[in-house]
Amino acid sequence: MTEITHQLKPQPVPAGINLVSPLRDPDKRVSEDSPAISVMTDLKIIKPFQIEASASLSAINEKMIACGVRLLFVRNSQDELAGLVTSNDILGEKPLLFATNNSCSRNDIEAKDMMTPISKLEAIAFSDIEKATVADVVMALEDSRRHHLLVLQTKEGRNCVRGIISITQVSHQLGKEITPTQRANSFAELTRALG
């Protein structure tokens, strides 16, 4: 029989109590000198929420609400990571533009149509994150056009996504706004930006 080392005594829950939130936890505050890993969502600790590439916009939105997240990993029919879909992708003008350009209704749009595919995402090696500071992460986010950076780790000779860094989370943990630089990747983008 197991020995009881400390008797637990349940008590009534006091009024006015709140939930601990990872984003509101004062212990999660960081400085630019803090280790970069302190602003990474570690997928070994936090379960990544996923959705199928064929999921509808309403299914994506419902899953985001149910999970309390603004980003889902999209997996293809081979159960491989195909991309990322964010709340901005499904609630902004992107679905309307897609429907107009493809002569379809909003109900016909799937996650694969709105996601940022893996080929267009940027990543940082986990080994680099282990050596970096939050200031290094801020610089990478400011220089990037992305609001998310994947963190890759090589495991048994294969790359896997170990974590993700979100500009929103880093901003919140630092207590200051970070804005990615809007650099042009083509002459057409430069022309639009200028005018």
Interval 122-160: pLDDT, tens: 899 999 999 999 999 999 988 887 788 999 998 888 889
Mean pLDDT of 50-62: 97
Question: What does each C-alpha distance from 40 to 54, 125, 156, 161 come to in angstroms?
Answer: 28, 12, 22, 12
Please indicate, yes or no, whether the overall pTM of this predicted structure exceeds 0.85. no
Give the chain's mean pLDDT: 86
Three-state SS at 45: coil
User: What pLDDT, in 10s, does the model give residues 29-40?
Assistant: 899 999 999 999
Nearest Cα to 146, choosing from 183, 103, 99?
Answer: 183
Reported as a pLDDT band with limits 50, 70 and 90, residue 14 is confident
pLDDT, residue 157, reads: 85
pLDDT, residue 182, reads: 55
pLDDT, residue 190, reads: 46
Alpha helix ranges (H) inside 27-123: 57-67, 87-91, 94-101, 111-114
pLDDT, residue 195, reads: 47
- The architecture (CATH level 2) of 26-187 comes to Roll (3.10)
d(CA 51, CA 76): 9
Of 13-22, 152-161, 185-194, the range with the highest mean pLDDT is: 152-161
Domain chopping of the chain, boundaries: 26-187
